[in-house]
Amino acid sequence: MTRYSKPGITQIRTVGRLIVAVLLLVIPVQTAYSQTAEERGLEIAREMDARDTGWRDMTSNMTMLLRNKRGDESKREMRLKSLEVTGDGDKSLTTFDTPKDVKGTSFLSHTHVVGADDQWLYLPALKRVKRISSNNKSGPFMGSEFAYEDLTSQEVDKYTYKYIRDDTANGKQVFVVERYPVDKKSGYTKQVAYVDQEEYIPVRIVYFDRKGSLLKTLQFSDYHLYKDQYWRAHTMEMKNVQTGKSTVLTWTDITFGNDLSDRDFDRTSLKRAR
């Protein structure tokens, strides 16, 4: 007859500790997966926003390289100012320096967390300020592959979200998150963002037009860290897959802490920026 010995107190305690250890490992996993795809997507978007809060203001120089389907290129030089606004979206002012036919043209953008953004374009040849209507936000900015709505700060509440999967992009582990514009006048039905899992910065964004067709892709590269906290991509390339055109934006001389204020971003600043 086979005899089975009764477990001792020590054995019972050991088994109990093992069970507790396993539960401690399993419970967080179960909690993470109890989120819906929409909740997880929103959580990632909020973390991206939280990590890029507190920079106050920034200035930089920027080059815009336009390339058509045949590969012909033209280049523009600009200056950019940005202001972080507490409780609302950011403000930015872009001024063109070259070539001669666009010199002095300025673009002012006031992003809002909720509702339509305010945008104006100063045309020196006409000596007047033109307001960009909500219906034109999907139009091309100065002949580039960037739309006016691409040039606003990407506020969390401007989209709803859905986490899709973990993946890799450009050698990085990324979250893949779909985001859907709340604004019915947006030129996009959805965007698919590839977000670096370590730094919570965008690696790539894929845009789909109002018909749901693939429209263009935006690639971020050459990231630099500023003030030990804020990552900035020095190169952004937007490719239009429907037309074969592309636009490359390159940033240089990025500087934070310039004591900029709201006055530097009012409508009269459009004419002062020369």
Task: Confirm whether 95 is domain-assigned.
Answer: yes
Contact 205, 154 (CB under 8 A): no
CA-based angle 145:147:153, to the nearest 5? 125
**Mean pLDDT for the stretch of residues 118-143:** 93
Task: Confirm whether 43 is domain-assigned.
Answer: no
- Residue 101 DSSP SS3: helix
DSSP state of 147: B
Handedness of CA 207, 50, 185, 183 (dihedral sign): positive
Task: Confirm whether 30 is domain-assigned.
Answer: no
Cα separation of the two ends of the chain: 100
**Mean pLDDT for the stretch of residues 120-148:** 93
**Mean pLDDT for the stretch of residues 243-257:** 98
**Mean pLDDT for the stretch of residues 265-269:** 91
Which candidate, 108, 107, 117, 114, places its Cα nearest to that of 87?
114
Backbone angles phi, psi at 101, to 5 degrees: -70, -15
Task: Confirm whether 267 is domain-assigned.
Answer: yes
Q: If you compute the radius of gyration of the chain from its CA atoms, what whole number of angstroms results? A: 24
> For residue 33, what pLDDT is reported?
58
Distance CA(270)–CA(243), nearest Å, equals: 32
How many folded domains does the chain comprise? 1
CB atoms within 10 A of CB 55: 17
Residue 19, pLDDT above cutoff 60: no
**Mean pLDDT for the stretch of residues 254-271:** 94
User: How confident is the model over 80-94, as pLDDT tens digits?
Assistant: 999 999 999 999 999
> For residue 274, what pLDDT is reported?
66
Contact 193, 202 (CB under 8 A): yes
Q: Please give the helix or strand (H or E) that residue 214 lies within, else none.
A: strand 214-226
Beta bridge partners of 30: none
Distance CA(130)–CA(142), nearest Å, equals: 13
CA-based angle 172:174:175, to the nearest 5? 180
User: How confident is the model over 51-74, as pLDDT tens digits?
Assistant: 999 999 999 999 999 999 999 999
Task: Confirm whether 28 is domain-assigned.
Answer: no
User: 3 or 200: whose pLDDT is higher?
Assistant: 200
> For residue 194, what pLDDT is reported?
98
Task: Confirm whether 41 is domain-assigned.
Answer: no
> For residue 271, what pLDDT is reported?
79
Task: Confirm whether 83 is domain-assigned.
Answer: yes
Residue 13, pLDDT above cutoff 80: no
Q: Which CATH number covers residue 139?
A: 2.50.20.10
Residue 99, pLDDT above cutoff 90: yes
Average pLDDT, the chain: 90
* Structural domain harbouring 213: 48-272
> For residue 52, what pLDDT is reported?
97
Number of DSSP helices (H) and strands (E) in the chain, helices first: 3, 13
**Mean pLDDT for the stretch of residues 191-210:** 98
Residue 162, pLDDT above cutoff 70: yes
Distance CA(206)–CA(60), nearest Å, equals: 26
Contact 231, 225 (CB under 8 A): yes
User: How confident is the model over 110-124, as pLDDT tens digits?
Assistant: 999 988 999 999 999
**Mean pLDDT for the stretch of residues 168-185:** 96
Residue 273, pLDDT above cutoff 90: no
Task: Confirm whether 1 is domain-assigned.
Answer: no
Instruction: With cut-offs at 50, 70 and 90, classify the pLDDT of residue 28.
Output: very low
> For residue 134, what pLDDT is reported?
87
